[in-house]
Structure 1
Amino acid sequence: MGESGRAMLDFFNILNEITMNMTKLVIWYNPIGIFFIIMNKILEVPDLEAAARSLTMYMVTGLLGLAIHALIVLPTIYFTLTRRNPFRVSLGMMESLLTGLGTSSSAAALPVTLRCYEEKLKFNKTICRFVLPIGATINMDGLAIIQAVTPIFLAQMNQRMLAFADLVAISLSATLASIGAAGVPGTGFITMLVVVAAVGLPVEDAYLVLTVDWFMMRMVTMVNIYNDSLAAGILTRYFTLTPNSEEP
């Protein structure tokens, strides 16, 4: 439309700038709000030493679950289905894994993941570009593990015994919530609140987990990226004649 459409173009450009400025304000004030939320929960804890020990065991349990999944379960599945060395994929994906560790976002690491798969591992581009973006969106098995551990930790902290039905509800809620979580930082804690509420635990107690959430989510992101990579490798093995093939 030329100059006659300039007013509409300027309107959306200004609207975009307003949105970005509002987002920047939220990002800058967010750490302050989280700090006071955490401090409020810490001050409410009657025995700070016991709470610190509980949080430490929570981290150990979560990290152990992630380690078993990433170092035993996933490589076993990959080797069983492809008869190939899964740790070769790990070495090829090291740059992507470190990016996930630094950003805590599988979506932010996606371009690096694609480059590692296509340039270093020489796997099928068509399959990678189809599988990896989907995996970065809905395949959050690492997050599901932490979301299952957290309600159990909060139940123990509140001295509540969970029935078998509660454990089933936690498993189903954690799986569904992890599928619905976006691959960006911070969404894991929001979906975690859904899982906590599903079994009737006090949601406000979950804010205590924020003290270690920043570290745990980075470990979760690495597991998610690794799982997506192995999934793409399995599909490459079954839908291409050779790993170097450019066509499915």
Structure 2
Amino acid sequence: MGLIIFSILLGVILRKLGEDGRPLLEFCRAWLHVIMMLVSWIMWISPIGILSLIAGSLTEVEDIVQTFKNVGLFVTVNFVGCFIQAFIVYPSLYFFFVRKNPLKYLGGIVPAMITAFGTSSSSATLPVTIRCVTENNKVDRKVAQFCLPIGATCNMDGSALYFATVVIFLANLEKINLSFGEVVLTALIAMFVSAGASEIPSAGLSYTILCLEAVGIPTKYIGLIFAIDWFIDRIQTVNNVMGDAYGAGILNQVTDMTDQENNVEKSNSKLNVIFNAHAAEEKNNQHV
């Protein structure tokens, strides 16, 4: 969260500086290209490292069959949680605020959901999401271009669910009983970490270790998560994109109501001015 706030303030200041801030802006752009090239090199050799982690985790497991059953339950819990969030929570909130059919709105963002599942990245899906909500669901473009980029960066409900589930799953593998306070702490950490997580494929793996260390759970079985993360990450990305799209629809309704109220106030103000002018004119006529 601190990094996000610092980045926003830095961008605002660089914009105000204009030409004086251009050298730092160019440095940041060059640094971005360097990091992206470094990440691309790491991604080429990452399969070797991931296979090694999975193999190391399997050698430490006592009952492989039971472990695979637990992994299957872990995937099921994530899928059910994302399903409830995407098809019950989001539509209910949309209906409560907008008073329109949420299923019709859902039909308009299906292309964005398919793109999210294929790319596993909220950023890569962002142009499709903007097009779906503006063209299919008639959301104001200004609202979409303001709300959706912020949502793609900070609004990651699926990721928050994933982080919390990973902690509880690995705690069960280690036979560690989490207290109620530790469960609450896990949920809070998962929410804050998801807000700062990167919107790139499989970015949650590094943040998972942070969540585990926060409640004191060993990370030796993290390789099992790596083996199935490619699939879970796609599901949670779909959930994240749906949350962004529904949020844009709700914000669009709120802004429309505000605009209507402002228009009514302006109309009333104009009527008052006309009425006062007419009253003053009649008063002057009476004096004459």
Q: For residues 248 and 66 of structure 2, what CA distance do their matches in structure 1 show? A: 44
User: Are the equivalent residues in 1 in contact too, given 2:56–2:223 (CA < 8 A)?
Assistant: no
The aligned residue for residue 46 of structure 2 is 30
Q: 1:105 aligns with which of 99, 113, 121?
A: 121
SS in 1 for 2:124: coil
Q: 1:95 aligns with which of 101, 107, 111?
A: 111
Deviation for aligned residue 1:86: 1.3
Q: For residues 231 and 199 of structure 1, what CA distance do their matches in structure 2 show? A: 32
Q: For residues 187 and 103 of structure 1, what CA distance do their matches in structure 2 show? A: 13
The aligned residue for residue 70 of structure 1 is 86
Check if 1:40 corresponds to 2:40: no
Residues 170, 95 of structure 1: alpha-carbon distance in 2 compared, 3 angstrom cutoff:
same
The aligned residue for residue 101 of structure 2 is 85
Residues 160-200 of structure 1: CA distance to partner in whole angstroms, max 9, x if unpaired?
11101111110110011000101111211111111111110
The aligned residue for residue 138 of structure 2 is 122
Residues 53, 19 of structure 1: alpha-carbon distance in 2 compared, 3 angstrom cutoff:
closer
TM-score normalised to the size of structure 1?
0.87
Which runs of structure 1 show a deviation greater than 3 angstroms over 4 or more consecutive aligned residues? 14-24
SS in 1 for 2:122: coil
SS in 2 for 1:46: coil
The aligned residue for residue 210 of structure 1 is 226
Structure (1 or 2) with the greater helix fraction: 2
Equivalent position amino acid for 1:224 in 2: N
Percent of aligned pairs sharing the same letter: 35
Q: 1:185 aligns with which of 196, 201, 218?
A: 201
How many residue pairs end up in the alignment? 231
Q: For residues 20 and 61 of structure 1, what CA distance do their matches in structure 2 show? A: 33
Residues 3-57 of structure 1: CA distance to partner in whole angstroms, max 9, x if unpaired?
xxxxxxxxxxx99987665443322111121111111111221111011000000
User: Are the equivalent residues in 2 in contact too, given 1:100–1:225 (CA < 8 A)?
Assistant: yes
Residues 81, 26 of structure 1: alpha-carbon distance in 2 compared, 3 angstrom cutoff:
same
Q: For residues 236 and 15 of structure 1, what CA distance do their matches in structure 2 show? A: 36
The aligned residue for residue 152 of structure 1 is 168
Q: For residues 221 and 179 of structure 1, what CA distance do their matches in structure 2 show? A: 13
Q: For residues 17 and 177 of structure 1, what CA distance do their matches in structure 2 show? A: 25
SS in 2 for 1:108: helix
Check if 1:221 corresponds to 2:229: no
TM-score normalised to the size of structure 2?
0.76
Q: 2:150 aligns with which of 129, 134, 138?
A: 134
Equivalent position amino acid for 2:78 in 1: G
Q: For residues 33 and 155 of structure 2, what CA distance do their matches in structure 1 show? A: 33
Deviation for aligned residue 1:158: 1.0
Q: For residues 235 and 152 of structure 1, what CA distance do their matches in structure 2 show? A: 34
Larger Rg: 2
The aligned residue for residue 239 of structure 1 is 255
The aligned residue for residue 194 of structure 1 is 210
Q: For residues 167 and 225 of structure 1, what CA distance do their matches in structure 2 show? A: 26
Q: For residues 69 and 36 of structure 2, what CA distance do their matches in structure 1 show? A: 41
SS in 1 for 2:175: coil
Equivalent position amino acid for 1:109 in 2: T
Show structure 1 runs of 5+ residues with no match: 1-13, 243-248
Q: For residues 36 and 78 of structure 2, what CA distance do their matches in structure 1 show? A: 35
Q: For residues 42 and 89 of structure 1, what CA distance do their matches in structure 2 show? A: 44
User: Are the equivalent residues in 1 in contact too, given 2:167–2:212 (CA < 8 A)?
Assistant: yes
